[in-house]
Amino acid sequence: MDMIDLLQKKKRGERLSREEIAYFVQGVTDGSIPDYQISAFTMAVCLRGMDEEETANLTYFMAQSGDTVDLSGIRGVVADKHSTGGVGDTTTLVLVPMVAACGVKVAKMSGRGLGHTGGTLDKLESIPGLRVDFTPQEMVDLVNRHGAAIVGQTGDLVPADKRLYAIRDVTATVDSVALIASSVMSKKLASGAEAIVLDVKTGSGAFMKETEAAFRLARAMVDIGERLGRRVTAIVTDMDQPLGNAIGNGLDVREAIGILSGQERESPLFSVCMLLAKQIMLAAGKASTPEEAEAKLQKALDTGAALDKFREIIAAQGGDTRVIENPDSLIKARRVEPILAQADGYVCHMDAEAIGRAAQLLGAGRSRAEDTVDHSVGILMQKRVGEPVKAGEPLALFYVNEEKNLDQARELFTRAMHLGEARVERPLVYGLVTANGEERLI
């Protein structure tokens, strides 16, 4: 088999066989295919596309390119949740204890933040003493004993994707639905979960800026799951403004504890958490209808079982559980600076990506993978789209330790907030995609 032949076929828009895709992934993994041919391949895919079977085959062989996690030692259906990335997205910290309190087994492998998007591991490491570096067997033991674990990726998962993504990132070939879907789903398959719920973001703070592109990605990932024996549900949600009010690390954990404790239950963040949690309950067989799932989840919240489960997860991973009773202890920034509105009006639009980058400049995120984060800094939003504001009122609070990038962060945030004379409303959920089809809500 010859790589030139594969490039010619894909350049003409022809379908690649399972054997040809296996050959390509093997060459990516072992280094026998050079970067320039990989970049030519990814550009051909961007321009000519891949059909559903090609995409599923690419996903399968990428998932098999390195280590895989064996979760067969966990009793019951194992669930996982994945977000395509956004700003103020603390859903994992809320919904994992919610569903675990209802008996769902959750083995969650999470990542770190990069650029304007936050990372669950960085948030968790705001909690003193908490570990996220566990072996696969230790993760299995944690889930069997406590019902859930939230850990970092272990071993050499999906090395083909690591190399492919690095090349796509510098060759303008990131925005291919087939390549994005196979990248996300190969990691989910290698991580071993049987039931997967995907939160596909759309809007200014999301990777998929356009709603129709987000639905195409959702359909592609659900189709991959169906073809490869996984129960996959995707929900398309809004990321045109931060989902939660907190954008940072310690701030995010404090917000999650607040929701689990009974505060902010009317917030968009809680609404998305409940929607995702219901789908996990259905996929894991813990409820037969959305109404039954919601009733069980609400009971876990109202009785304190969900908060107790979060406390248990923290303790099992070595963290200081006193943060549950005193979440303000997570916020140790030297000072808080309000960012004030300059005029009366309504908040009519936010650039969520710019707001995320402002938090990154304060030290809450990374520009490069090797950067460290400051867990105590960030942004706490005071206004949402559609809300009235008067000149001199705070739009947000900046939690600050260093002055170095403060002026730049302040300017970036101010440009990201748009005021108008009329009230507007943003949809929160656009639709649901399952193996049976899609349901549009907007």
pLDDT, residue 114, reads 65
Residues 272-304: tens digit of each pLDDT: 999 999 999 999 999 999 999 999 999 999 999
Pairing state of beta strands 345-350 and 417-420?
antiparallel
The hierarchical CATH code for the domain 332-420 is: 3.90.1170.30
Q: Name the catalytic one among 65, 182, 183, 191.
A: 183
pLDDT, residue 330, reads 94
pLDDT, residue 215, reads 97
| CATH architecture observed for domain 3-49 | Up-down Bundle (1.20)
Q: Name the catalytic one among 10, 82, 201, 357.
A: 82
Instruction: Indicate the length of the chain as a whole number.
Output: 442
For residue 156, indicate whether it is catalytic. no
248: Cβ–Cβ under 8 A, 6 or more apart, which residues? 118, 359, 362, 364, 375, 376, 377, 378, 379, 380, 399
Q: Answer whether 160's CB lies under 8 Å from 284's CB.
A: no
At position 120, the amino acid (one-letter code) is: T
Residues 62-118: tens digit of each pLDDT: 999 999 999 999 999 999 999 998 899 999 999 999 999 999 999 999 888 766 887
For residue 168, indicate whether it is catalytic. yes
Q: Name the catalytic one among 187, 201, 286, 311.
A: 187
Q: Name the catalytic one among 80, 122, 161, 238.
A: 161
At residue 352, the 3 state secondary structure works out as helix
Domain ranges of the chain: 3-49, 78-325+429-440, 332-420
Q: Answer whether 28's CB lies under 8 Å from 163's CB.
A: yes
Domain covering 78-325+429-440, topology:
Pyrimidine Nucleoside Phosphorylase; Chain A, domain 2 (3.40.1030)
What is the average pLDDT value for the chain, to the nearest integer?
95
Q: What is the CA radius of gyration of the chain?
A: 22
Q: Name the catalytic one among 105, 108, 123, 168.
A: 168
Q: Give the separation between CA 430 and CA 354, rounded to whole angstroms.
A: 23
For residue 39, indicate whether it is catalytic. no
Residues 395-418: tens digit of each pLDDT: 999 999 999 899 999 999 999 999
pLDDT, residue 225, reads 96
Beta bridge partners of 439: 432
Which residue's entry shows tokens 């996690």?
A: 69
pLDDT, residue 175, reads 81
Q: Answer whether 297's CB lies under 8 Å from 102's CB.
A: yes
Q: What integer is the mean pLDDT of 5-12?
A: 97
pTM: 0.93
